[in-house]
Amino acid sequence: MTHLQAFAAALLGSGATPPGGLRTWNGSDPAQRFRVYRNNVAVSLVDALADNFPVVQALVGDAVFRGMAHRFIVAHPPASPVLALYGIEFSDFIASFPPAAELSYLADVARLEWLYQNAAHGPDAPTLRAEHLAVALADPEHLNDLQLQLHPTAAPFHSPYAAISLWAAHQRDDSGEIATHIAAINLAQGESGVVVRQGLEVAVVPLPPCAVEFLTQLGAGVALGAAAHDAQATTPDFDLGQTLGLALRAGLFTDFKIATSPRDPHENPCTD
């Protein structure tokens, strides 16, 4: 282990012993100075997690959150200096954290908040206009082969709990008021949606599970016809037109193209 690795391990570890070889410029006790520095680092990382996961913090309270966050930073120190993106493992950590076991929905709320934070710092991309897509949709010859490109910040979300409603219940409207009360939420009601950045704002768009799966297939490059066929096979009342309309209004698409089938290697290009 290098000196730098030993210093990092001691900085975020639970032990009281500082790494060896520390010196201070004024001859003061290096162990005491190190303890102050370690405490400042821990507070900064916990504060960063609180900024990235405000709904989780609101659900469990400040004291419980900070205790849980401190355990997390010891197990998962940041791998990047960009603390706005710190906490990718937080939802998995919560799911395996015994004191949080009674709050079965908490890990999914954390995962939703991470997707929100990740989208906020994702790349920009133009939004596909509905009238441009309408031209392609009006061509029956290429309709099935149409490939729609999802916004690079678009991320699907599924939960067996009302995680989206819990998140929404902690968001304030233009007047600064919270519109939904937690007591009115059926926590056992599963929810799905897509997280995407619309310009400078991040949106959490609630959608039926079949619509989210349909959009996920489109994002993986599956052509419109095949993705719609799979959606209708699993959910007979899947409404293609309604889903595309919702996706367009949410800014989920950036572009489209017509898929080309690979040429048969035995086909003679000079004959029909």
Q: How far apart are CA 219 and CA 221, in angstroms?
A: 5
Residue 180 belongs to a domain: yes
Angle between helices 30-52 and 3-12 (to 10 degrees): 70
Residues 255 and 144 in one domain: yes
pTM for the model: 0.83
Angle between helices 240-249 and 224-234 (to 10 degrees): 120
Domains in the chain: how many in total?
2
Residue 117 belongs to a domain: no
Residues 137 and 83 in one domain: no
Residue 113 belongs to a domain: no
Per the CB < 8 A criterion, the answer to whether 117 and 52 are in contact is yes
Residues 154 and 98 in one domain: no
Residues 66 and 143 in one domain: no
pLDDT digits 0-9 by tens, 199-211: 889 999 999 999 9
Residues 134 and 210 in one domain: yes
Last residue of one domain, picked from the residues 103, 137, 161: 103
Look up residue 262 and give its two tokens.
Answer: 């690979």
Q: Which domain holds residue 86?
A: 1-103
Residue 174 belongs to a domain: yes
Residues 176 and 144 in one domain: yes
Residue 264 pLDDT: 44
Residues 49 and 94 in one domain: yes
Residue 35 belongs to a domain: yes
- Say yes or no to pLDDT of 5 above 50: yes
Residues 34 and 132 in one domain: no
Residue 114 belongs to a domain: no
Residues 145 and 260 in one domain: yes
pLDDT digits 0-9 by tens, 175-203: 545 555 677 899 999 999 999 998 889 99
- Lowest-confidence segment of 26-35, 68-77, 98-107 by average pLDDT: 26-35
Residue 206 belongs to a domain: yes
Residues 156 and 78 in one domain: no
* Secondary structure of residue 154 in the 3-state scheme: coil
pLDDT digits 0-9 by tens, 87-119: 999 999 999 999 999 999 999 999 999 999 999
Residue 118 belongs to a domain: no
